[in-house]
């Protein structure tokens, strides 16, 4: 008997995997703050922004993205790198306060061969992890179980961010 998993949110990724034109990390911020919720941009700074991963490895998977479009680590100024690190720390704090994970995976995939889905625009992953969140699904079925919708995760993180800044 074949088991089926219902994952309707994956259709958007499958249908658009080869159709994407341009860089979403450039396009989304350029669409303006009125579209931040639609584009899952959680927070903006002078040199970088925090965005939810639309195809997360775990609940609350965030990315810190510099505005500068480059695949070169050396291209970033010290000021840009400092804001990226500040936003990485802020991402961890928001996730800890909102979801109480037991740990994190932090990383940058440089180049397609290293697993970068968007290889031409460096970005940092902040992936919350919980005790027991490794199960058979990713190993046997290449499936990740995400317990909350992106809109709920976005809303919860925005509330935490607002409470930290006083409104």
Catalytic residues: 123
- The Cα–Cα gap between 30 and 107 comes to 25
- The Cα–Cα gap between 159 and 19 comes to 34
- The Cα–Cα gap between 116 and 128 comes to 19
- The Cα–Cα gap between 152 and 20 comes to 25
Do 161 and 87 meet the contact criterion of CB atoms below 8 Å apart?
no
Q: How far is CA 88 from CA 48, 49, 142, 159, 167, in A?
A: 10, 10, 27, 18, 21
């Amino acid at each position: 008997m074949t088991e089926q998993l219902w994952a309707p949110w994956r259709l958007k990724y499958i249908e658009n995997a080869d159709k994407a034109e341009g860089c979403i990390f450039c396009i989304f911020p350029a669409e303006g703050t009125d579209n931040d919720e639609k584009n899952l941009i959680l927070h903006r700074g002078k040199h970088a922004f925090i965005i939810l991963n639309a195809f997360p490895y775990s609940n609350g998977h965030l990315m810190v993205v510099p505005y500068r479009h480059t695949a070169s680590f050396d291209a970033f100024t010290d000021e840009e790198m400092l804001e990226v690190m500040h936003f990485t720390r802020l991402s961890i704090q928001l996730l800890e306060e909102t979801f109480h994970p037991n740990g994190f995976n932090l990383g940058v995939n440089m180049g397609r061969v290293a697993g970068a889905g968007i290889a031409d625009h460096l970005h940092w992953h902040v992936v919350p992890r919980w005790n027991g969140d490794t199960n058979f699904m990713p190993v046997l079925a290449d499936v990740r179980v995400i317990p909350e919708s992106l809109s709920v995760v976005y809303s919860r993180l925005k509330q935490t961010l607002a409470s930290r800044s006083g409104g």
